[in-house]
C-alpha cells in the first residue's frame, strides 16, 4: 500500500507539500498540486479522510445541489454527476447529491450554516436563483453548472446554447428544411426562469431569423405524453413542417411515437434533431437520433476543478467557461421529401384517403 512518502518521492516534493495539497493547511501552486494529485493517482494512494478532515477543519465533502422530480435522473443528466463525482474522488473529496431547489432555502441555510460542506455545485440553475444568495451570504464556495442572468463574481461552466442552437438549425437548413419547429421544456419551466429553456428559446429565434425563416417554439411537458401533445400542436400550427428541433428528452420519444402513429416517416417526412443529449439516449430511439451531444461529463469535471481551486487553494479568480454541444448525425435527419417523391408512409396515407 502506497504511503505519503511514496507520493512525495514520485512527485519530487516534500512530505509536508503532499500534506498541504491534501489538507489545504498552506497554499501551494496549482502546478505543484497537480503533480501531487497525479502521483496519488498513479500510486492509487488512499489518504485517511478522517485524519485529513480533522487536520484541516474541513469535511472533505462537496455538495451537488440538484433539484429532483418524478422524472429522476436520465442518462444525460447522470453524465454531469458522474463527471463531477470522478473529479471529486480523484482529489480526495466526497460528492454528496442533495435535492435542494429554489424552494428549499431554509434547508440550504441549515446545511450551509452547519459547515457540513466545504463547497457546493449548483445545477438546474434559474436566471434568478436564490440559492446563490444564500451560499454567498454564508461564505460557502460555489460554482454553477449553468448561469444566472447576472454572473458578476460567479464561477460557472455551462453549455454554449447560442452556438449549439445555431449549429442545429444550420444542419437542418443545409439539408433544405425551412419549416422547423422547436419543442422546448414546459411552459411552467419557462415561467420559472430555467436558464437553458429561456436561452435556447432566444437562440432559436435568432438562428431562424438569421436564415430568414419564421421561428415557432412549442413548450412541452417533460413526458412522452407531452411530446405527443406538442406534435399535435405543431401540426395544427404548421401543417407542412418538415423538421423538429427538441430539447426535451422525455418528450422526444413521444414525438417519435406520434409521428409514427400519424404515418409520418422519420426522416423522410419529418427530420428530428435532439439537443443536449447523451449518445446513450440518442441510440435508444428508432431511428437513432441525430443529436447535439451534451458535454456533461466534461462540464462536471471542470466545475469540480474550479470549485476545488476556490476551496483548497483559496483562489478567488473567477472562472467562466462555455462548451458547445457537438453535432452527431445519425438516422433521424435527412433532406425534406421533395415534390413527386413517394415514400412508403406517403403511399399509406394516400391509400387511407382513397378508402375514406
From CA 59, how far away is CA 76, in angstroms rounded? 29
Average pLDDT over residues 302-327: 89
pLDDT interval class at 44 (50, 70, 90): confident
Mean pLDDT confidence for 30-58: 72
pTM score over 0.95:
no
Percent of all residues in the chain with a pLDDT value above 70, rounded to a whole number: 88
Q: Are the beta carbons of 249 and 283 closer than 8 angstroms? A: no
Looking at residues 314-342, what average pLDDT do you find? 84
Answer yes or no: are the C-beta atoms of 189 and 197 closer than 8 Å: yes
**What value does the mean pLDDT take over residues 14-36?**
80
pLDDT at 325 over 80: yes
d(CA 185, CA 223): 10
The stretch 11-39 carries a mean pLDDT of 82
**Tens-digit pLDDT profile for residues 59-77:** 789 999 998 766 567 788 8
Question: What pLDDT score does 345 carry?
Answer: 46
pLDDT digits (tens, 9 = 90+) for 116-150: 789 999 999 999 999 999 999 999 999 999 999 99
Q: What is the pLDDT of residues 194-211, one digit of tens each?
A: 999 999 999 999 999 999
Of residues 310 and 163, more confidently modeled? 163
* pLDDT over 50 (residue 50): no
Nearest to 94 by CA among 74, 72, 119: 119
Question: What per-residue confidence (pLDDT) applies to 77?
Answer: 87
Could you tell me the pLDDT band of residue 17, with boundaries at 50, 70 and 90? Answer: confident
Distance CA 179, CA 242 (A): 6
Domain boundaries, the chain: 1-57, 161-294+328-337
Would strands 290-293 and 320-323 be described as parallel, antiparallel, or unpaired?
Answer: unpaired
Residues 212-226 have pLDDT tens digits of 999 999 999 999 999
pLDDT for 261 beyond 60: yes
Question: What CA–CA distance (Å, rounded) separates 196 from 189?
Answer: 10
Residue 23 confidence (pLDDT): 62
Q: What is the mean pLDDT of the chain?
A: 88
Whether domain 1-57 has CATH 3.20.20.140: the reply is: no
The predicted structure's pLDDT at residue 235: 96
Which pLDDT score, from 0 to 100, does residue 40 have?
Answer: 86
> Given a cut of 50, is residue 356 above it in pLDDT?
no
Residues whose CB is less than 8 angstroms from the CB of residue 16 and which lie 6 or more positions away in sequence, other chains included? none
Query: Stretch 93-104: mean pLDDT, rounded?
Result: 90
Average pLDDT over residues 24-39: 82
- Which architecture, in CATH terms, is 161-294+328-337? 3-Layer(aba) Sandwich (3.40)
Amino acid at each position: 500500500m502506497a504511503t505519503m512518502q511514496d507520493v512525495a518521492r514520485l512527485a519530487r516534493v516534500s512530505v509536508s507539500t503532499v500534506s498541504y495539497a491534501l489538507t489545504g493547511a498552506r497554499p501551494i501552486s496549482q502546478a505543484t498540486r497537480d503533480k501531487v494529485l497525479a502521483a496519488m493517482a498513479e500510486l492509487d494512494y488512499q489518504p485517511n479522510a478522517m485524519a485529513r478532515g480533522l487536520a484541516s477543519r474541513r469535511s472533505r465533502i462537496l455538495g451537488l445541489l440538484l433539484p429532483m422530480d418524478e422524472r429522476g435522473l436520465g442518462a444525460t443528466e447522470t453524465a454531469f454527476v458522474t463527471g463531477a463525482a470522478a473529479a471529486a474522488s480523484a482529489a480526495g473529496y466526497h460528492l454528496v447529491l442533495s435535492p435542494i431547489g429554489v424552494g428549499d432555502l431554509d434547508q440550504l441555510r441549515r446545511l450551509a450554516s452547519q459547515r457540513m460542506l466545504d463547497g457546493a455545485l449548483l445545477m438546474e440553475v434559474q436566471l434568478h436563483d436564490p440559492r446563490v444568495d444564500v451560499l454567498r451570504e454564508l461564505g460557502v464556495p460555489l460554482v454553477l453548472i449553468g448561469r444566472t442572468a447576472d454572473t458578476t463574481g460567479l464561477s460557472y461552466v455551462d453549455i454554449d446554447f447560442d452556438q449549439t442552437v445555431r449549429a442545429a438549425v444550420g444542419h437542418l437548413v443545409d439539408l433544405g428544411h425551412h419549416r422547423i419547429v422547436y419543442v422546448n421544456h414546459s411552459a411552467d419551466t419557462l415561467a420559472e426562469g430555467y436558464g437553458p429553456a429561456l436561452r435556447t428559446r432566444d437562440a432559436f429565434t435568432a438562428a431562424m431569423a438569421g436564415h430568414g425563416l419564421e421561428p415557432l417554439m412549442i413548450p412541452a411537458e417533460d413526458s412522452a405524453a407531452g411530446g405527443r401533445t406538442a406534435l399535435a400542436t405543431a401540426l395544427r400550427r404548421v401543417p407542412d413542417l418538415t423538421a423538429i428541433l427538441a430539447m426535451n428528452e422525455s418528450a422526444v420519444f413521444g414525438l417519435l411515437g406520434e409521428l409514427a402513429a400519424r404515418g409520418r416517416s422519420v426522416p423522410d417526412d419529418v427530420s428530428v434533431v435532439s439537443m443536449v443529449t447523451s449518445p446513450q439516449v440518442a441510440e435508444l430511439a428508432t431511428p437513432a437520433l441525430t443529436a447535439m451531444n451534451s458535454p456533461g461529463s466534461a462540464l462536471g469535471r471542470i466545475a469540480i476543478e474550479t470549485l476545488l481551486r476556490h476551496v483548497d487553494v483559496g483562489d478567488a479568480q473567477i472562472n467562466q467557461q462555455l462548451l458547445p454541444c457537438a453535432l452527431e448525425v445519425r438516422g433521424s435527419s435527412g433532406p425534406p421529401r421533395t415534390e413527386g417523391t413517394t415514400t412508403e408512409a406517403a403511399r399509406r396515407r394516400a391509400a387511407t384517403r382513397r378508402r375514406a
